[in-house]
Structure 1
């Protein structure tokens, strides 16, 4: 999860923490990042990358969205925070370097308040819970399918 301690921008961290509390640590590695460029430090040996971040311009506050990289729609979304290198630029760079996993899914929750000294809004907290629920269901389904293939 990508985030910061500023208001609704915590949503990526909240989603990641909720997922971490529900999954077996051996099945997935969950990280809390401050900036998208931190993804480059550990994505190389990853087969599937799930990114959680705050977004703006995708829908109503608290709404949950999912995209598979690459996707043209992502260009019209504003990603939260003041990152030196945007999430989309980091993914493009990872692709050019041959370090991008085969599957990249981006989950965003629409946010509003990302100023310092603010807490997350109740609507975004609900969105984070809904996103974590959806991600866990998706990952559980994939794990079950993998187990069936190996049986």
Structure 2
């Protein structure tokens, strides 16, 4: 209970998977499907085709978790974690077809004073992004690992912003 006798509100956390239907660029969507099951309603989960969609969902959030495919010169399926703001994310090449980059949208949200207190970005190294292709086996095998990492991270709320790479 708070001093005013009202029950303290639960922190609002949102996880968003960004992706497209093209090969390994689907990974953000696939991770959100599994994360929704793993978190059993403890976390609001959405999917987006463009980073710009995030701007509509930011009001009143305490934490934003984003999952997206990236190219960071690793092997397909490698997992990375960044805490925003970070210049490392800006150097990660996008593999998808997004008009505006994720770092641009996060910077814009920051300038508009709409960014939550904590923003964590999870990236999965992609391989094939051929139109209509399924997820590659290397990227698909990363799903249980990243779901566990995100779930554990939500429980511990890590403060490090160093990339975590898992083969």
> So what's the TM-score if we normalise by structure 1?
0.89
CA distance in 2, matches of 1:68, 1:124: 22
Aligned residue-pair number: 141
Q: What's the counterpart of residue 147 of structure 2?
A: 132
Q: What's the counterpart of residue 37 of structure 2?
A: 21
Return the offset for 1:140: 2.7
2:86 equivalent to 1:71? yes
- Report the RMSD for the aligned CA atoms in angstroms: 1.1
2:124 equivalent to 1:120? no
2:116 equivalent to 1:104? no
Whichever of the two has the greater Rg, that structure is: 2
The structure richer in helix per residue is 1
- The correspondence for 1:48, drawn from 32, 43, 63, is 63
Return the offset for 1:60: 1.4
CA distance in 2, matches of 1:84, 1:6: 15
Q: What's the counterpart of residue 149 of structure 1?
A: none
> So what's the TM-score if we normalise by structure 2?
0.81
Divergent runs of 4+, >6 A: none
Q: What's the counterpart of residue 96 of structure 2?
A: 81
CA distance in 2, matches of 1:41, 1:100: 11
Q: Secondary structure at the match of 2:46?
A: coil
